A and B are shown apart, each in its own frame.
Chain A
Amino acid sequence: MNREKINEFLIEKGLFITAIFSIIIIFTILIFIVMEALPAFQEYGFFRFMFGMEWSPNDDNFGVFTMILGSIFVTFLALMMAVPLSLLCAFFMEEIAPNKVKIFLKPVIQTLAGIPSVVYGFFGLTVLVPLVREYFGGTGFSIFTASLILAVMILPTIISVSQDAIKSVPHDFKEASFGLGSTNWQTIRLIIFPAALPGIVTAIILGIGRAIGETLAVIMVAGNVVQIPGSIFDPVRTLTTNIALEMGYATGLHYNALFGTAVILFIIIIILLIIANYIQNKHGMDIGGGTL
């Protein structure tokens, strides 16, 4: 009896420790980043830092607003390309494709997820940049090029997670819909899609996370110019690339300012998560899909 109690107790506490482990790590990282960033915020001013247009560390100017816009533009454009593509692909694979095609498609998409980002970046630099320059003018380094690369990179994430969501919609729903005389497309559009929506939103959030955090591939194709872009074919610098570009050399306030950039990135991601959670709660359903 007593032994069982101890066992139970140990297992319970063991699970608790593993569960809080990731929380501890997140908070450790957060505290570290904020502490390193604090001098920059204190000396330069948080709002001046966040909404400043000029970034020139040599003259002690640390404004990251152009990069906030850069990150948002690049991520948003990548989503515009990737979401329709990957959702249609997921529906095709789950609802329409014959088994033979499915068996072939699945590993191909998984391979896409396994390619390291530096390879995507190099492909972008040597193949996409010249193409974009030829067809759209400019230098070829642009928001558009970066989004194109990112769209391909987040495809597998969105496809596989939304596929799982579609798969978990109860079979009864589909049969009932067919029984009422709906076509396949009507069933997908009006029954399966709404039921799988929470899972699909999760898929898109994961895609956003990957896109906004991607650094190496973006560094190579975005041009990294600190400016507010006039069109999608202008070069741009994102928050992550700003950190990666200059971290190797930075000392003093410049170093703190790069951590400040990371704090801003953190804030943006948290805001995105809150928005996504809100959407999910509003449109959430009790069945199918699963939630966050």
Chain B
Amino acid sequence: MKISKKLLFLIGIFVVVIVGAILVSSQSSTINIVGSTSVQPTAEKLVEVYSESHKDSKINVQGGGSSVGIKSAKDGSAQIGTSSKELDDGEKEGLKTYELGKDGIVIGVNNENEVSDLSKDQLKGIFSGEIKNWNEIGGNDAEIHVVTREDGSGTLDAFESIIMGDSKIKDDAIVQSSTEAVKQSVSQDPNAIGFVSFAHMSDDVKTVSVNNVAPSEETIADNSYELQRPFLFITKGEPTDEVKKFIDWVMSDEGSKVLQEEKIIKSSN
């Protein structure tokens, strides 16, 4: 009996130590970057490089989605919100936005597929399930296999808002969990179609032009390729202290270099 009391006492001490450690470590001031899951990897990369030269900085990057990013910037729960869609006038109120650059969304089909151009309406038809066969849009007589991304993916979110509008992606579309898995699925199936972000495009799959404009750094920069979205940092009013220091660094040449490596395209106008 005596020993088990001792044991309880020891466990108690452990708990106190652990809780104490957590409290202490969370006390020092940190910058929270919250928002779009598409911006997340880019923001993480920026923070990683930034921390190399600013050892005492503490920056957390979290996902949640563009709307969460805008909301957290507005209510102050995050010092920096991120968004991968333009803010409308109502949302903009009291907020300051910084455009890191743009990302394109590329439609990919199998390399054997003869279709090389699709209109936005055709894309909408394919992904909503109205167009079921490749021969309806100038391809072979074969069923179209649609590959999409999981709910919450930033790429899916952007694709839906640019292409789908109010209609929904069909229920029986194959769901893949990453850009790489989408590319694999499309490259092994002659009748598949999927979408990935421009930064991760490779030769495994064939790029389809949209409304006769092929995606490239130039066409995304000058807005002529329509499937694109901005990567935004959002702050509540003018940033101060550490936050300002970080954003200034991101907007400087050093930050731009990182962005360029991540294939984020600077707007040309």
Query: Which residues does A use to contact B, with CB under 8 Å?
Result: 9, 13, 17, 56-58, 125-126, 129-130, 133, 139-141, 219-220, 223-227, 235, 237, 244-246, 248-251, 254
Task: Evaluate contact between B189 and A223: CB separation under 8 angstroms.
Answer: no
A223-B175, A249-B37 are known; give 20 further A-B pairs, CB within 8 A.
A17-B7, A58-B151, A125-B188, A129-B185, A139-B145, A139-B174, A141-B174, A219-B177, A220-B181, A224-B176, A224-B177, A225-B175, A227-B172, A237-B175, A246-B152, A248-B152, A250-B152, A251-B64, A251-B65, A254-B152
A251 touches B68 (CB 8 A): yes
Q: Is B31 an interface residue (CB 8 A)?
A: no
Please tell me if the beta carbons of B189 and A130 are within 8 angstroms of each other in the complex: yes
- The answer to whether B152 and A249 touch across the interface, beta carbons within 8 angstroms, is yes
Distance in angstroms between the alpha carbons of A275 and B73 in the assembled complex: 52
Residue of B nearest to A244 (CB): B177
B153 at the interface (CB under 8 A from A): yes
Of B7, B173, B184, B189, which one neighbours A225 at CB under 8 angstroms? B173
Contact in complex: A245, B181 (CB < 8 Å): no
Report if B3 contacts A (CB, 8 A). yes
Determine the chain A residues whose CB is within 8 A of the CB of B181 once the complex forms. 125, 219-220
How many residues of B are in contact with the other chain, CB < 8 A? 25
Residues in B whose Cβ lies below 8 Å from that of A246: 150-152
Encode B63-85 as 1/0 by CB contact (under 8 A) with A.
11100100000000000000000
A249: contacting residue among B63, B171, B174, B185, CB under 8 A: B63
Q: Bound complex: CA of A72 vs CA of B189, how far in Å?
A: 28
Interface hits, B19-47 → A, CB 8 Å: 37
The residue on A at minimum CB distance from B188 is A130
Report the minimum CB–CB distance from A187 to chain B (whole Å).
48
Minimal beta-carbon separation of A130 from chain B (angstroms): 5
Nearest Cβ distance between residue B236 and chain A, in whole angstroms?
Answer: 20
Whether A125 pairs with B151 at a CB distance below 8 angstroms is no
Q: How far is the CB of A134 from chain B (nearest CB, A)?
A: 10
Are A248 and B63 also in contact (CB < 8 A) when A224-B150, A224-B177 are? yes
Cα of A139 to Cα of B64 in the assembled complex, Å: 31
**Contact of A249 with B64 at beta-carbon distance under 8 Å, contacts A225-B172, A227-B172 already known:** yes
The answer for the CA separation of A246 and B173 in the assembled complex, in Å, is 16
> Given the complex, which residues of A lie within 8 Å of B184, measured CB to CB?
125-126
Q: Taking A13-B3, A56-B151, A133-B189 as contacts, is the C-beta distance between A248 and B173 under 8 angstroms?
A: no
Q: How far is the CA of A235 from the CA of B37 in the complex (A)?
A: 26
Query: Which of chain B's residues have a CB closer than 8 A to the CB of A141?
Result: 174, 185
Task: Give, as a whole number of angstroms, the nearest-CB distance from A8 to chain B.
Answer: 13
CB distance from A7 to the nearest CB of B (A): 14
Question: 11 pairs across A/B with beta carbons < 8 Å?
Answer: A125-B184, A125-B185, A129-B185, A133-B189, A139-B174, A224-B175, A224-B177, A225-B171, A248-B63, A249-B152, A251-B64
If A13-B3, A235-B172 touch, does A245 touch B68 (CB 8 Å cutoff)? no
List the A side residues contacting B172 at CB < 8 Å: 225, 227, 235
* Nearest CB of B to A247, in Å: 9
Task: Kindly list chain B residues whose C-beta atoms are within 8 Å of the C-beta of A126.
Answer: 184, 188
For A227, what are the chain B residues with a Cβ–Cβ distance below 8 Å?
A: 171-172
**In chain A, what residue has the closest Cβ to B154?**
A249
For residue B153, which residues in chain A have a CB less than 8 angstroms away from its CB?
249
Contact, CB under 8 Å: A57 / B151: yes
**A contact residues around B173 at 8 Å (CB):** 225
Residues of B within 8 A of A225 (CB): 171-175
Contacts of B7 in A (CB 8 A): 13, 17
Q: Of all chain A residues, which has the CB nearest B11?
A: A24
Task: Tell me which residues from 184 to 219 in chain B have a Cβ below 8 Å from any Cβ of chain A.
Answer: 184-185, 188-189, 192
Query: How far apart are the CA atoms of A133 and B7 in the complex, in Å?
Result: 60
